[in-house]
């Protein structure tokens, strides 16, 4: 399971050398930002807003078993444009269905309690 601390998440469960698809969606009128780093290098960042699972980005990364990923969840309100820490994170997985694997992390900003303001999915296939 990922390590959730505040608005950050440490992930070290991804198999070394596997190409992982990363997808980000939102269900919030507030702009959401998710930043994924490894060893302080930004691998990808997703920024956007919208309802009904609005896609804010998709990318691929190659997992490195020697270095965990750090994911930071933030959002902006309409007040001053500053990036605020998402209030709480939850995660599920990794789930394995055949050779398909899925890990999901969700963030809540505190304006409701549906845990879908930001949704980040990691998916990959297990090598045979």
Q: How do residues 83-108 score in pLDDT, each as one tens digit?
A: 999 999 999 999 999 999 999 999 99
Instruction: For residue 25, give the nearest of 56, 64, 63 by alpha carbon.
Output: 56
Residues 117 and 31 sit within 8 Å (Cβ to Cβ): no
CA pair distance 77, 17, nearest whole angstrom: 38
Tell me the whole-structure pTM to 2 decimals.
0.93
Q: What share of the chain is helix, strand, coil (3-state, %, to 5)?
A: 0, 65, 35
Q: How do residues 3-58 score in pLDDT, each as one tens digit?
A: 999 999 999 989 999 999 999 999 999 999 999 999 999 999 999 999 999 999 99
Q: What value, to the nearest 5°, has the Cα angle with vertex 120 and ends 119 and 126?
A: 140
CA pair distance 84, 54, nearest whole angstrom: 20
Given this model, what pLDDT does residue 72 score? Answer: 98
């Amino acid at each position: 399971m990922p390590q959730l601390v505040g608005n950050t998440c440490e992930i070290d469960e991804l198999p070394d050398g596997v190409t992982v698809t990363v997808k980000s969606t939102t269900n919030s009128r507030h702009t959401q930002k998710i930043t994924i780093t490894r060893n302080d290098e930004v691998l990808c960042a997703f920024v956007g807003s919208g309802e009904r699972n609005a896609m804010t980005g998709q990318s691929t990364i190659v997992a490195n078993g020697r270095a965990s990923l750090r994911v930071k969840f933030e959002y902006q309100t309409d007040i001053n444009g500053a990036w605020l820490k998402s209030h709480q994170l939850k995660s599920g997985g990794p789930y394995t269905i055949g050779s398909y694997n899925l890990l999901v992390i969700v963030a809540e900003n505190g304006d409701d309690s549906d845990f879908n303001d930001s949704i980040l999915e990691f998916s990959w296939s297990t090598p045979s």
